[in-house]
Structure 1
């Protein structure tokens, strides 16, 4: 891995001092609500994130330390620009990751994609932000148009490794999407209550400040329900799950009737309906999004099952995983983005696009109709074996999030018209329910 390349104007290693930045607790005195939203977010945990720390350790060993600054620039920007990282003892303010003063000291950028984290910093008494005509008795304020644009986020969410491979294309995909053309910015979805589109959040930015039609939320939730879980950040874990559940829509195309021994074709349509970037995004070589398809008869007997997880926590082979596969110098798949020299495949779903996955099975003899088809769009932040390798087997179980779910029913074509059927209940269950009703009725009126 070659040394970090910086664009002209970008603040480099050791050019500043950590004591030029305020700790986040200082900001909480006046900005209590905003601070409480940030506290516990992946931005606040960007440096101490245990998964990141484990990955950084492996990457550093693989590259003899040459990748360290490259990664740390986004995970502890104060640590790098102050010269405390890599290799030194980090001050408390540097350990706060992407915190208040680092973002509100950004006075420009040297060009998205031009270099690693091309932020221009002007720390001091001036705090820059998206609000016009904002006044403070504690510090100077200045309106910054950059803070309202996706280019602000793109400084760390557009990443090329030293081999020129785009390993995080979040900003680029948004830039080429209809969301960008319509003027929808990253902040409109990730800093408002709307989750998938802008929705105003009336309130005050600080105690004593005037009430405004919109104050940006600072939860910065993405899709990380894993790290927020192991750090016991319940609010941010819950918000990540909520965001995942609003990212995609799903439909099933299956026959309404099928006879015994008949071969059945099933189509599942998945649409990226709520994200201005591909799903999944970020370090997408380790993300896993896939379909779990289950077909059972009326007695619960399994007819077909794909995309289920085995006892070791692995997705059973044969199912398409919607993610990126990176290739190393020999063209072999690798999950180490720092070693990637190519992108072997990219099966993620672009904004507002739909993909179709096909499944086939046959209706067995003696099946108890109706037959039920259940499809879940599943997601997890990383494969279980990757987490086991990093932390030790049994240390952490990666949660699987159900992003969307659809069901359909296949009936017996020879059944008499209008024959009643209750989804998911066989004859024995119906008899049991009827017996319970008789007992309740008897006790009530005896």
Structure 2
């Protein structure tokens, strides 16, 4: 009975895919140009793209492990579904399946490459890669006056909109319609869209959290323009670039994460020995037009690590450390929790049938955590409180399961930090601690917020 149901679903899914533009196998891979050929005239853009997660969309070792597991769990139902964004040429040319990549041409292994992006001549909406591609001598793009001696050029407004990105960065489950990646729709319904800020303004300029013009030429011999989109298109994945030896892109991802959030602390300035101290630490999504984390948010992990020490270095309070086995100790994890058919949490989105929890932080949204600790009777003042917002791309035990123990260590990044001191009643504060990443902290809510605002403005040169 289960096999019959799976076969029936597969037939439905196949028919659905066949109804999409450029369905499985209706083109051939030799109709597309290799990115090496594009590099001859677009060298700067090519070098920006080479090594990125788009470049490695198929070669990403985490993706390859996951898609094999998904294929096994679903008897191949999701093979074309997943591959449509990770090796689009492989899908439209019929080289996937087999899902193990044994039938892929070298050009299909280029992932999200130059030609597949610039022969998109239309879209059948947003989500699940409904692109229309027209391979050939004409290349589409965001300029209405482009001229090339090598190929034809056409303008398509789609390239200037978030809907272009939303083709792949909005994913619904192919069988039950569950939204498993809401990056595009959160932007669409959020404040940035209302202000006219599109994905490209943050992800295709050097401004990171705001648009910064990049004057130059799109290619050799092309006219000089006030802005040429950069093609690193980095998100928050600092793990896989490091695994692939692309440390530069890992560093760029870490820098982007550091601009995503800020911290503030509301706490008492004074505390007597034996007192129970309660404080609120707030996290604000101050730099992302989507929720943080986003993307495959069921495996992303973001949390607060809070530590209090007295002047002698004695630990008074501690939460959010990474344990020796790679788990996060006693901290709230900000991510999405997916539920399987039995209502149990699952990290496998292809098995998901519900969302059990979503505590991610929306654009310009703020969440607050309450932390309470007792000041020991024999404490040495002042107490130093350090709050750090941590992030990693995947749980360590998941990576150990996929690759084997101690093969890859998932980096834990500090993306925002804040420090304050707590003094004994009658003691005078003589200094302010300024953290290394966004946020400024001294005791007292009003002063904290004023200093944080000033520091935030200076950091971003607004």
State the TM-score, normalized to the length of structure 1: 0.92
CA distance in 2, matches of 1:281, 1:11: 28
**Aligned pair partner of 1:136 in 148, 151, 165:** 148
* Counterpart position of 2:121: 107
CA distance in 1, matches of 2:214, 2:375: 52
Give runs of aligned pairs for residues 267-278 of structure 1, distance below 5 A. Answer: 267-278=280-291
CA distance in 1, matches of 2:426, 2:46: 64
CA distance in 2, matches of 1:25, 1:368: 64
Q: Does 1:331 align with 2:324?
A: no
Q: Contact conserved, 1:158 with 1:172, CA < 8 A, in 2?
A: yes
Give runs of aligned pairs for residues 149-164 of structure 1, distance below 5 A. Answer: 149-161=161-173, 162-164=175-177
Runs of 4+ with deviation above 2 angstroms: 1-9, 420-424
Q: CA RMSD in A?
A: 1.5
Count of residue correspondences: 419
**Aligned pair partner of 1:44 in 45, 51, 55:** 55
Q: Does 1:10 align with 2:24?
A: no
In the superposition, relative to structure 1, how do residues 378 and 296 fare at CA in structure 2: closer, same or farther (>3 Å)?
same
Q: Deviations over 1:21-74 (max 9, x none)?
A: 001000000100000000000000000000100111111111111111110000
Give runs of aligned pairs for residues 141-220 of structure 1, distance below 5 A. Answer: 141-161=153-173, 162-220=175-233
* Counterpart position of 1:94: 108
Instruction: Look at both structures and tell me which one has the larger radius of gyration over its CA atoms.
Output: 1
Give how far 1:131 is off: 1.7
Give how far 1:235 is off: 1.6
Secondary structure of 1:37 counterpart: helix
Give structure 2 stretches of 5+ with no counterpart.
Answer: 1-5, 435-462
* Counterpart position of 1:405: 417
Q: Contact conserved, 2:267 with 2:278, CA < 8 A, in 1?
A: yes
Q: Does 1:64 align with 2:75?
A: yes
CA distance in 2, matches of 1:123, 1:272: 40
CA distance in 2, matches of 1:382, 1:40: 20
* Counterpart position of 1:126: 138
* Counterpart position of 1:239: 252
CA distance in 2, matches of 1:28, 1:421: 54
Residues 4-13 or 206-215, more deviating: 4-13
Q: Deviations over 1:242-271 (max 9, x none)?
A: 100001111111111100010000111111
In the superposition, relative to structure 1, how do residues 413 and 215 fare at CA in structure 2: closer, same or farther (>3 Å)?
same
**Aligned pair partner of 1:23 in 34, 58, 63:** 34
Give structure 1 stretches of 5+ with no counterpart.
Answer: 425-446
Give how far 1:281 is off: 0.3
Q: Contact conserved, 1:298 with 1:423, CA < 8 A, in 2?
A: no
